[in-house]
A and B are shown apart, each in its own frame.
Chain A
């Protein structure tokens, strides 16, 4: 377990020193959300109606921005081979890298989301489910995205290929997180939607590290 946190610490340190990835993701999130009031007009009713969807779709696209770098740098400089050859199982190393990815992209998005929700006139009832959906949903983006990042390793134009592979898989997360927020706004129970999101999170937590590690083993051959 100390090895697991050693990898997380290294990736966090790399992300903090290079700095650009987290800042880029958050800036993209903020700028894209700000574009919507300009495009749709400032009418409160309309913005209220679309705000849950806009926030979730944009968060989802933003978290994809840094995904193609998740394994790429380690692959290019040979670190990935050494991680595969270290005494810790590759699955654990992969899980550690996914956790680090979430901490550097998912977490900042969760922090910014409520502020942007104010901008889009999200009704007050929607804030709690928005946060809950982001907390449950963004780790899924890092986990499933990690599979895609491992699969496109070594491919030319991997970033574009990655979006084509991964975006369809994000649809369930989108449906249930927007569903939770909408339900709460209309005075219904958000709980069932959030429970399904939690289920998706647990399933991807159990599967993704194994699938991604298998893809990485192919890549280092």
Chain B
């Protein structure tokens, strides 16, 4: 189960000597990081440098070909389901169904994460309001713009508390005002002891974030060394 946020002070999310191979090509190797409660990790690097792959590795969706990931001293590979329960992953796709309304979509994901249905619905509605989608709550997914879909996906993270947020270019398609809301939400999440790993090409204010530049971990071109 998700540990309560108040005891999160002792938590530590750490990776060491990580390597990832995609389609036979080594994307990065010898990559390490440490993330403490309230901490943030900003992933930078050109296209194809492995930002998305690293986020998928951290989410447990992709297995690293070498290296070790542990949460509070316990290896992630030992209990992948516990890791899934404490992690929110936001990828390139927004998981919006054309025929489900905004409220139905967010409530569904909230209910999967919370055992109390009524509470999940309340949290989902609050999250929808937070991202300025209150007037669109009954709108089916096919009528939404790209930015609105992205905001629905972001509302999903707020609707169920998870200590670790993994976000792959969350600012894509968002307007300036929504990015400001996202920055506030991220700050609140971190103030509550949450952790954030975020990749971006755009400017986003993430105070005191550790910066991980992925092209530093790219393997040396073969044949040159």
The answer on a CB contact under 8 Å between A78 and B84 is: no
- What CA separation (Å) do A213 and B61 show in the bound complex? 13
A14 touches B99 (CB 8 A): yes
Contact B113 A78 (CB under 8 A): no
Within 8 A of A (CB), among B58-99: 59-63, 81, 84-85, 87-89, 91-97, 99
Is A77 an interface position by the 8 A CB rule? yes
From A83-91, A103-111, A165-173, the one touching the partner chain is A83-91
B115, chain A: closest CB distance, angstroms: 7
Contacts of B108 in A (CB 8 A): 6, 10
With A77-B97, A79-B97 in contact, is A89–B81 under 8 Å at CB? yes
CA distance A83 to B91 in the complex (A): 13
Question: Which residues of A sit under 8 angstroms from B99, Cβ to Cβ?
Answer: 13-14, 17-18
Across the interface, name the chain B residue whose C-beta is closest to A93: B112
**Is A78 in contact with B92, judged by CB distance below 8 angstroms?**
yes
Q: Is the CB of B91 within 8 A of A88?
A: no
Asked if A220 is at the interface of the complex by the 8 Å CB criterion, the answer is yes
CB distance from A25 to the nearest CB of B (A): 18
Interface size on A, residues (CB 8 A): 25
Of chain A, the residue at the smallest CB distance from B153 is A78
Say which residue of A7, A78, A85 sits within 8 Å of B87 (CB atoms): A85
Instruction: Find residues 1-34 in chain A having any chain B CB closer than 8 Å to their own CB.
Output: 2-3, 6-7, 10, 13-14, 17-18
Whole-angstrom distance between the alpha carbons of A73 and B141 in the complex? 14
- Interchain CB contact under 8 A, B92 and A87: no
When A2-B115, A86-B112, A87-B84 are in contact, do A81 and B100 touch as well, CB less than 8 Å? no
- How many positions in chain B have a CB within 8 Å of any CB in the partner chain? 32
Are A77 and B95 interface neighbours, CB within 8 A?
A: yes
The one of A2, A17, A83, A88 that contacts B117, using a Cβ cutoff of 8 Å = A2
* B130 interface contact, C-beta 8 A: no
Q: How far is the CA of A221 from the CA of B65 in the complex (A)?
A: 12
The chain B residue with its CB closest to the CB of A17 is B99
A2 touches B62 (CB 8 A): no
**B109 touches A (CB below 8 Å):** yes
Contact assessment for B61 and A6 in the assembled complex, using a CB-CB cutoff below 8 Å? no
Complex Cα gap A86–B89 (Å): 10
Tell whether B190 is near chain A: CB-to-CB under 8 Å.
no
Q: Give chain B residues whose Cβ lies under 8 Å from the Cβ of A17.
A: 99-100
Is B111's CB under 8 angstroms from A6's CB? Answer: yes
Q: B156 contacts which chain A residues (CB < 8 A)?
A: 82
The distance in angstroms between the C-alpha atoms of A182 and B34, with both chains bound, is 68
**B61→A85 contact, CB < 8 A:** yes
Nearest residue (CB) in A for B59 is A85
Which residues of chain B come closer than 8 Å to A77, judged between CB atoms?
93-97
Q: Which A31-80 residues sit within 8 Å CB-CB of chain B?
A: 73, 76-79
List of A residues within 8 angstroms of B89 by Cβ: 81-82, 85
Set of chain A residues within 8 Å of B112, measured between Cβ atoms: 3, 6-7, 83, 86-88
Q: Which residue from B63, B94, B100, B111 sits with its C-beta under 8 Å from A3?
A: B111
1/0 contact string of B113-136 vs chain A (CB within 8 Å): 101010000000000000000000
A78 touches B59 (CB 8 A): no
Over the window 150-185 of chain B, the binary record of Cβ atoms lying under 8 Å from chain A Cβ atoms (1 yes, 0 no) is 000000100000000000000000000000000000
Residue among B84, B97, B111 making CB contact with A84, cutoff 8 Å: B84
Contacts of A82 in B (CB 8 A): 89, 95, 109, 156
Question: Nearest chain B CB to A95's CB is how many angstroms away?
Answer: 15
Q: Give Cα A221 to B62, complex, Å.
A: 5
Other contacts beyond A7-B112, A78-B92, A85-B60: 17, CB < 8 A = A2-B115, A6-B108, A6-B111, A14-B97, A14-B99, A14-B100, A17-B99, A73-B97, A79-B97, A81-B95, A82-B156, A83-B112, A84-B84, A85-B61, A87-B85, A87-B113, A221-B56
Can you report 9 residue pairs joining A to B where beta carbons are below 8 Å apart?
A: A6-B111, A10-B108, A14-B99, A18-B99, A79-B95, A81-B95, A82-B89, A86-B109, A221-B61
- In the A-B complex, the 10 residue pairs with the closest CB atoms: A78-B93, A87-B85, A17-B99, A79-B95, A78-B95, A86-B112, A85-B84, A6-B111, A85-B89, A221-B62
